[in-house]
Structure 1
Amino acid sequence: MIRFRTQVYKLTSSKIPEGKKLKAAFLTDLHGREFGPGNQVLLEEICRQQPDLVLCAGDMIVRTLPHSIPVARALLLKLSEDFPVYMALGNHECRMKLQPETARIYTDYEEELVKGGIKIFHNEKKDLKIGDIPLTIYGLELPMEYYHKPDSPTLTCGQIKNLLGSGDPSRLNILLAHNPKYGKAYFSWNADLTLCGHYHGGILRLSRHRGLTSPQYLLFPPFCCGDFEKEGKYILVSAGLGEHTIPVRIHNPRELLIIELESTGS
């Protein structure tokens, strides 16, 4: 059986009231993988962690493998029975819904997820209150040109604002953004916590923050994997739960991220 590790990040924010905590499970880049029949091992670990919410940054499927859809659908719907689930799309979902031959398959998949209570973001936001913590979740959906190989356009803070607006500085802002290539722009925007995937840990992971390459054929890409902090804001880049095309991982375990946020005064 393929395995994954649970990577726990303990972060602080001045926007969380003293004595309060927020716990989230973050999964991305499943690509149709299963950890035990029906993903039972993964489900049991998430339930054991008892998060307040489950966040997903996309690429749960492989666009050229429609049989990856039932795997992702079953996992997400099962999670939604016990936790609120919020999801942004990755490049695989976006491309699948844009191609005429697979658009209907993708649309049916998304409709089933929404009927199951899962919130899917298309450059949207959702205001929540968990305990006494006001937070807003944003889901960034970039045009496919931002995934071009090897070159893709520059993304600016202003362009993110055009897609999502400006974050409310009085709320804890969480941004689901599949592609970590644009980490500098995410830091410039108003996200307190940005969650990314896409790079699969760099295939060969060299250190906590460094990997060999990315799906866009960039060598030693910035924001490849791990945690990054700037002036009290964080970006977490998961190595993901699966892979496709080149099913290779070297010193680079699959990851479920557990994020524990508490007040800076705690």
Structure 2
Amino acid sequence: MGEFRTVTYEVHNPKIKQNQSVRFAVLADVHGSEFGTDNCDLQAKIRENLPDAILVAGDMVVRKDVSTLENARKLLISLAKDFPVFYGLGNHESKMKIEGYPCQSEYLEYEQSLRKAGVHILTNEKYEFQAKGTSLVINGLELPLEYYHKPTSPKLTDQAMEQLMGKPEPDAVNILLAHSPKYGRTYFNWGADLILSGHYHGGVLRFSRHIGTISPQLMPFPRYCCGDFYQDGQCMIVSAGLGEHTMPLRIHNPRELIFIEMKS
């Protein structure tokens, strides 16, 4: 059983209805971790904060550990009974579902059970959502696996991003679930109002709110490593995540559950 902290960000956007606020809970890089039996501690903290929706920025599971599917399934199905849940996939989910992967059938069954429970799994798809009188569009980006290659990966161009996701909706708050923060500049260019990422686990050894040592692709001191970043009224928030895999190491880098309060 692990421990985690909560981090709350206040984000302002003129598209939010006047005198209203929309609250989100953000899960990233849980990797099958448990906080209390059946994640009761994690669930209690989320329910205490009464989010309008739960946004998942990928890697709920570990691709080489089938048992993590069950932990993630229980958590998300339980939360979906009380909250809208939107799930953008990370590299672990994308890897598990490819043809010929050893646990592909178990992963596909996991996805099917989540969809049946009402979880919105977004694979380069959009979902229009109303909260507190505000129109939101949740965009779930699934990058091809080549964009996760170590130590190098291709550049994500503005054109490639548009081919994957189309264009953002001009009159709605566009929220982009984009697991890898490496391409933050492209996400900003695309036009997302709020970008949610993870993947870097806070850089393993974290020096400050925004600076961590290394990315999973072995990039030292990666840009957009952790914390909040802003550009022209847009906001990108990168979670340090709630779990680890392979090397369960964190230094000055606590696991975190994020809450976002969006206001006009």
TM-score (norm 1): 0.98
Please list, as runs of the form range in 1=range in 2, the aligned pairs for 1:148-167 lying within 5 A after superposition: 148-167=149-168
Structure 1 position 57, deviation (Å) = 1.1
**Is the 1:168–1:190 Cα contact (8 Å) retained in structure 2?**
no
Q: Which residue is 1:254 aligned to? A: 255
Structure 1 position 99, deviation (Å) = 4.9
Structure 2 residue ranges without an equivalent (≥5) = none
**Is the 2:32–2:68 Cα contact (8 Å) retained in structure 1?**
yes
**Is the 2:17–2:132 Cα contact (8 Å) retained in structure 1?**
no
RMSD: 0.7
Q: Which residue is 1:217 aligned to? A: 218
| Percentage identity across paired residues of the two chains | 51
Q: Secondary structure at the match of 1:78?
A: helix
Please list the CA deviations of residues 222-262 of structure 1 after superposition, one character each: whole Å capped at 9, or x if unmatched.
Answer: 00000000110000000000000110000000010000000
Please list the CA deviations of residues 124-175 of structure 1 after superposition, one character each: whole Å capped at 9, or x if unmatched.
Answer: 0001111210110000000000000010000022211111111112110000
Q: Secondary structure at the match of 1:109?
A: helix
Q: Which amino acid aligns with 2:10?
A: K
Structure 1 position 2, deviation (Å) = 1.2
Q: Secondary structure at the match of 1:98?
A: coil
Q: How many residues align?
A: 263
**Greater Cα shift, 93-102 or 188-197:** 93-102
Please list the CA deviations of residues 169-189 of structure 1 after superposition, one character each: whole Å capped at 9, or x if unmatched.
Answer: 211000000000000001101
Q: Which residue is 2:109 aligned to? A: 108
Structure 1 position 89, deviation (Å) = 0.5
Q: Which residue is 2:15 aligned to? A: 15
Please list, as runs of the form range in 1=range in 2, the aligned pairs for 1:138-157 lying within 5 A after superposition: 138-157=139-158
Q: Secondary structure at the match of 1:63?
A: coil
**For residues 9 and 117 of structure 1, what CA distance do their matches in structure 2 show?**
27
Q: Which residue is 2:132 aligned to? A: 131
Q: Secondary structure at the match of 2:246?
A: coil
**Is the 1:24–1:54 Cα contact (8 Å) retained in structure 2?**
yes
Q: Which residue is 1:50 aligned to? A: 50
Q: Which residue is 2:177 aligned to? A: 176
Q: Which residue is 2:85 aligned to? A: 85
**For residues 36 and 99 of structure 2, what CA distance do their matches in structure 1 show?**
32
Please list the CA deviations of residues 8-53 of structure 1 after superposition, one character each: whole Å capped at 9, or x if unmatched.
Answer: 0011001112101100000010011100111000000000000000
**Greater Cα shift, 122-131 or 236-245:** 122-131
TM-score (norm 2): 0.98
